[in-house]
Amino acid sequence: MMWYWSSGGVHWWGWFLGFVVTVAFWALLIALFVTIFRSSSPKDHTHPAPGQEDPERVLARRFANGEIDAEEFHSRLEILRSHDRSGGS
């Protein structure tokens, strides 16, 4: 019965290769799950972060309170909307 080579066991490089292959397997598996999880999460950047007010609502409130006039309101609103269409954050 000669399951191993003639030296009587697995050489050090056999253990090292097994270790490297095992670590690489688990790293690839974890990277795959992270990639799938991130791609399945919604990426709608049009809504503000939790606890942050929508910029258009802030602008409308400032206009309603009389802090800005109609010309400034429409100008800033146009800038906000063009920024959203161009893919801004």
The stretch 23-49 carries a mean pLDDT of 81
Q: Rounded to an integer, what distance in angstroms lies between the CA atom of residue 66 and that of residue 1? A: 94
First to last CA, the chain: 68
pLDDT of 44 higher than 90: no
Residues 27 and 51 in one domain: no
Does residue 14 form part of some domain?
yes
pLDDT of 19 higher than 70: yes
**pLDDT tens sequence across 65-88:** 999 999 999 999 999 888 776 665
Does residue 4 form part of some domain?
no
pTM comes to 0.40
Half-sphere exposure of residue 47, counting CA atoms within 13 Å on the CB side? 6
Does residue 1 form part of some domain?
no
pLDDT of 26 higher than 70: yes
Range of the domain at 20: 9-41
User: How many Cβ atoms are within 10 Å of 74's Cβ, its own excluded?
Assistant: 13
pLDDT reported for residue 53: 81
DSSP string, 22-54: HHHHHHHHHHHHHHHHHHHS---TTSPPTT---
Residue 55 tokens read as 């910029």
Total domain count, the chain: 2
pLDDT of 43 higher than 70: no
